Amino acid sequence: MRLVLLGAPGGGKGTQAAQLKDELNVPHISTGDLLRGAVQAGTPLGLKAKAVMEAGDLVSDDLVLGILEDRLAEDDASNGFILDGFPRNLVQCEMLDGLLTRIEQPIDVAVNIVVPEEVIVERIASRAQQEGRADDNEETVRNRLKVYREQTAPVVDYYGERDLVHTVDGLGTIDEVFDRIMGALKG
Ligand code: AP5
Ligand code: MG
């Protein structure tokens, strides 16, 4: 299965993907994780991305498409994948469609996990204490939410127009949300 997980920052995409990958037996591909890895490793890409991520803005489309393309070329992605954090604007939607058409692996379904902003802010604040992610401070979170509203929310409509989106309530326990997503995928 080729699945795109949509939803605001802190909405639970990474958390759900960690369980879905075992259930669906496909890799979890998070562009945020790939970029954080590049920052950590100090690669040229990481050096370019670091300040942009710390500000909560989007890294350039070409850079992100490049790492995604490399990741999709690995063997484990040949039977499907869960995309988390990509596409994040309408240009990336078009780029992804172009790439997946070329490799004859179109998206099957998108799941939009919906969580109110006040809950997101609480969840990210508690992760900030546990993990210390560089972009989990209050100011950057505010900008990440703004970027989401302005640039990423239209991605939901992009897949909606193609009849590919299931909307799932992201409130409740991790297992409850997981069951809702599996219900949507089976239904
Ligand atoms: P990215 O890593 O994608 O971050 P994000 O979209 O801001 O999302 P998060 O990872 O914060 O949230 P999530 O939805 O995965 O939620 P999680 O499961 O962690 O991107 C980071 C940056 O990289 C971007 O700002 C940008 O600069 C760059 N970037 C990445 N992709 C890009 C792209 N395509 N183009 C350009 N730039 C790009 O959950 C959050 C917290 O809530 C966790 O602590 C979790 O334990 C908790 N939680 C989860 N579910 C529940 C629940 N049901 N109940 C209670 N707590 C819960
Ligand atoms: Mg994440």
How many angstroms does the Cα of residue 106 sit away from the middle of ligand 2?
A: 23
> Ligand 1 atom closest to Cα of 123?
42
Q: What is the CATH number of the domain that holds 135?
A: 3.40.50.300
- Is 168 a residue whose pLDDT tops 90? yes
How many angstroms does the Cα of residue 101 sit away from the middle of ligand 1?
A: 27
| Confidence tier at 187 by pLDDT (50, 70, 90) | confident
- Is 29 a residue whose pLDDT tops 90? yes
Which residue puts its alpha carbon closest to atom 34 of ligand 1?
86
Ligand 1 mutation pick, 123, 136, 173, max ligand atoms within 8 A of CB: 123
Q: Which of 37, 117, 184 is CA-nearest to residue 125? A: 117
Per-residue pLDDT of 120-134, as tens digits, reads: 999 999 999 999 999
**Residues with a beta carbon under 5 angstroms from ion ligand 2:** 14
Provide the β-strand partners of residue 169: 114
Q: What's the pLDDT at 70? A: 96
How many angstroms does the Cα of residue 18 sit away from the middle of ligand 1?
A: 12
Dihedral sign from CA coordinates of 155, 7, 32, 57: positive
Which residue puts its alpha carbon closest to atom 30 of ligand 1?
32
Contact 123, 18 (CB under 8 A): no
Provide the domain limits for residue 175: 2-186
Which residue puts its alpha carbon closest to atom 5 of ligand 1?
9
- Is 53 a residue whose pLDDT tops 90? yes
State pTM to two decimals.
0.97
How many angstroms does the Cα of residue 94 sit away from the middle of ligand 1?
A: 22
Q: Which residues are catalytic?
A: 13, 88, 127, 133, 144
Dihedral sign from CA coordinates of 154, 159, 160, 161: positive
Per-residue pLDDT of 39-50, as tens digits, reads: 999 999 999 999
Contact 6, 110 (CB under 8 A): yes
Query: Which tokens hold the place of 5?
Result: 């997980």
**Cα-based distances in Å from 167 to 96, 113, 181:** 21, 6, 9
When divided into structural domains, the chain yields a total of: 1
